[in-house]
Amino acid sequence: MQSSYTELESLVALSQDKVEAFDFLYHLYKQPVYGNIFKIVKQEDLAEDLLQEVFITLWENRHSLQLDRPVAGWLFVVSHNKALSFLKKKLKEALVVSSSEEFTEQASPEETLDEEEYSLQLSMIKEAVDQLPNRKREVFHQLRFEGKTTEEVAENLGISVQSVRDYLKQATRQVRTHIQERGKLMHASSASILIMMLDQF
């Protein structure tokens, strides 16, 4: 059993179904990939579960990986997308529960939250963020959409940690106000769920 590889050697061996190459990549990248997921989902057990899903996906795609591209980039993209997909799924489930509880008596079995309505409600948050002043938008986007820590955002933008917190507080207030105003044009419970989920999205 080979105990170490170059990255190219590990990818070639992985494409040949060698489990030791998979183990090598897992131990090499599990900590940074876990950190990438945890910054988004903020739950240790969930981050661990998603980490396992990422590496299962790596194994399932072992024959189609591009050998001339760093596997680290592939792992970080997949882990980022899986973490965001979980949050979006959680939001969708909350919206479905809210709708079903309120309309149980009136709704037919076929009446469920459709994808178009869900996408519209998700886009409302992004629309609100796009209307923020530049610095508030940068802070909100890096913290809420990219999963960065307060310290990382402060370093990226060259401002203090307290300034990051102040900008986030102000930005969140503006986003909530936008959702509340737009919520007058949609069902009130849906707007309430969006506001409730805002800190996690």
pLDDT tens digits, one per residue of 11-24: 999 999 999 999 99
Whether 65 and 135 share a structural domain: no
Q: Per-residue pLDDT tens for 94-125? A: 555 544 544 444 433 333 344 455 456 666 77
Q: Could you tell me the residue range of the domain that residue 87 belongs to?
A: 1-113
Amino acid 13: pLDDT: 94
**Are 5 and 81 part of one and the same domain?**
yes
Residues 6 or more apart in contact with residue 149 via CB below 8 angstroms: 39
What number of other Cβ atoms are within 10 A of residue 99's Cβ?
A: 19
Same domain, 120 and 103: no
- 129 alpha carbon, distance to own chain's centre: 16
Say if CB 121 and CB 76 are below 8 A apart: no
From 59, 94, 113, the end of a domain falls on: 113
| 49 and 94 belong to one structural domain | yes
Are 79 and 144 contained in the same domain?
no
Q: Regarding predicted confidence, which is higher, 112 or 175?
A: 175
Identify the weakest region by mean pLDDT among 77-81, 89-93, 124-128, 148-152: 89-93
Predicted local confidence at residue 173, as pLDDT: 86
Q: Above 90 in pLDDT, residue 63?
A: yes
Distance CA 158, CA 30 (A): 30
Instruction: Report the CATH number at residue 17.
Output: 1.10.1740.10
Half-sphere exposure of 56 (CA within 13 A, CB side): 7
The two tokens of residue 36 are 């990438």
Q: State which of 61, 78, 113 marks the end of a domain.
A: 113
54-63, 78-87, 165-174, 191-200 — most confident range: 54-63
pLDDT(188) > 50: no
User: Domain check: are 105 and 138 in the same one?
Assistant: no
What was the pLDDT predicted at 175? 83
User: What phi, psi does 53 have (nearest 5°)?
Assistant: -65, -40
pLDDT at 149 over 60: yes
Q: Which residue has the higher pLDDT, 72 or 20?
A: 20
Q: In this predicted structure, what is the pLDDT of residue 96?
A: 55
Single out the residue in 113, 137, 160 at which a domain terminates. 113
Looking at the structure, do residues 99 and 141 belong to the same domain, yes or no?
Answer: no
* One domain, residues 94 and 137: no
Instruction: State whether 131 and 186 are in the same domain.
Output: yes
Average pLDDT value for the chain: 77
Distinct helix (H) and strand (E) counts, the chain: 9, 0
- Please give the structure tokens belonging to residue 159: 């401002």
CATH at residue 182: 1.10.10.10
The single-letter code of the amino acid at 1 is M
Domain tally for the chain?
2
